Amino acid sequence: MHITVVGTGYVGLVAGACFAETGSEVTCADLDAKKVAGLKQNILPIYEPGLDTLVERNQAQGRLQFTTDVADAVRKADVIFIAVGTPPDEDGSADLSHVLAVAETIGQNLTREAVVVTKSTVPVGTADKVRTAVARHAKFPFHIVSNPEFLKEGAAVDDFLKPDRVVLGVDSDFARTAMTELYGPFVRTGKPVLFMDIPSAEMTKYAANAMLATRISFMNEIANLCERVGANVDLVRKGIGSDSRIGSSFLFPGPGYGGSCFPKDVKALLRTSEDMGAPMKVLRAVEEANDRQKGLLFEKLHRAIGDVRGKRIAIWGLAFKAQTDDMRESPALNLIDSLLAGGATVVAHDPAAMHEAERRLGASIAFAKSNYDALTDADALVVVTDWNEYRFPDFARIKAALRHPLLVDGRNLYDPTKMAQLGFTYRSIGRGTE
């Protein structure tokens, strides 16, 4: 079975490399010639643990190739995955122009009966639009599948190779058989392959991300309330997380969710709900709560230090989460914007996102080669991303480097009692430290 994946972002590149790892012949196609040239040299456009090894090994063994010729990649494929971006339009709806352009190319270049799979995150009803776009030109039978991804950035390879479940929206036996064969190697341990109708599969992706975003925003609001009433959110989290009906995942408070999925998908689902006359008031509140939460770190810093004009602020962490270089919708960007608007100087460090930060921010902030280098003569340190190397730092070194021993911890990495004993002015989220 020959697989073509159109799009080499997080979803497409991970899918292509992982399918190749199981022995399939895979072609990843992308119109970005610079990106494709880099991939051919095993230079990845994203930071994702373990992905570089898969790409290098499968290219060397001839199972994975990269091309800018999308039409040719389609012509030799039995299964074609559409994995291009669906950025939000101005009204919050998903922009399907790239998806439908690929569908047109697929229809024009089919050379055999094939399965066309939407892997991009798309609203309910997109599969019908893809079907129409392919059918406009296709001279061979084809079958449409919705196969949403559930990959966590920073753990995408493991998530793909060892999925919790595989969701497949199909409406033909041909597609069902092909997808069963394709995903067989990934579910040998008995993890479920959930076949369903196509609209349900499309909705499942949005519903899952909306639920996770809801948990994050809910817990952030609980943390903020804990500060007001003198409760400790760490204990509250353990208390509710031990309830089997709730579970412990996605209950850690922080500076708000970001990344390529949650913000975009929440907006798209809200747009769909409004268009269909079924407004989602809970989800609207989730989005509003997250927008407020992204200003929390600056508020805490401002209350502790006063006017930031002329102050030098060190930031540890720029990516929206650890184990990725993705800065899309990162809380660090909100913090930096507020600091610069207030007249502060910013110096930042991140283990993986420095190049992306330089691309986004240019010379507006300074970048440190190490996390400790960022501290020299800084008036305060703000921890934004929970990278492992920030979890057990040398506090004596931090205190000696800072002009004032002020630390704002946006991820609750450190113990408030210990920080007080060490002489820090310490602020965290929901633990009565203010």
Catalytic residues: 261
Report which of 350, 357, 346 is spatially closest to residue 381, judged by C-alpha positions.
Answer: 346
3-state helix, strand, coil in the chain (%, to 5): 45, 15, 40
Residues of 239-254 as b/e, b for ≥16 C-beta within 10 angstroms? eebeeeeeeeeebbbb
Quick one: tokens of 193?
Answer: 């392959």
Residues in the chain: 434
Give the angle subtended at the CA of 321 by the CAs of 337 and 408, to the nearest 5°: 55
**Euclidean distance between the first and final Cα of the chain, in Å?**
60
Spatial separation of the C-alpha atoms in residues 361 and 174, rounded to whole Å: 49
Give the angle subtended at the CA of 79 by the CAs of 168 and 112, to the nearest 5°: 130
Spatial separation of the C-alpha atoms in residues 331 and 317, rounded to whole Å: 10
Quick one: tokens of 203?
Answer: 């909705």
Spatial separation of the C-alpha atoms in residues 49 and 161, rounded to whole Å: 13
Spatial separation of the C-alpha atoms in residues 328 and 258, rounded to whole Å: 7
Spatial separation of the C-alpha atoms in residues 362 and 382, rounded to whole Å: 20
Quick one: tokens of 61?
Answer: 């063994």
The residues facing 169 across adjacent strands are: 146, 196
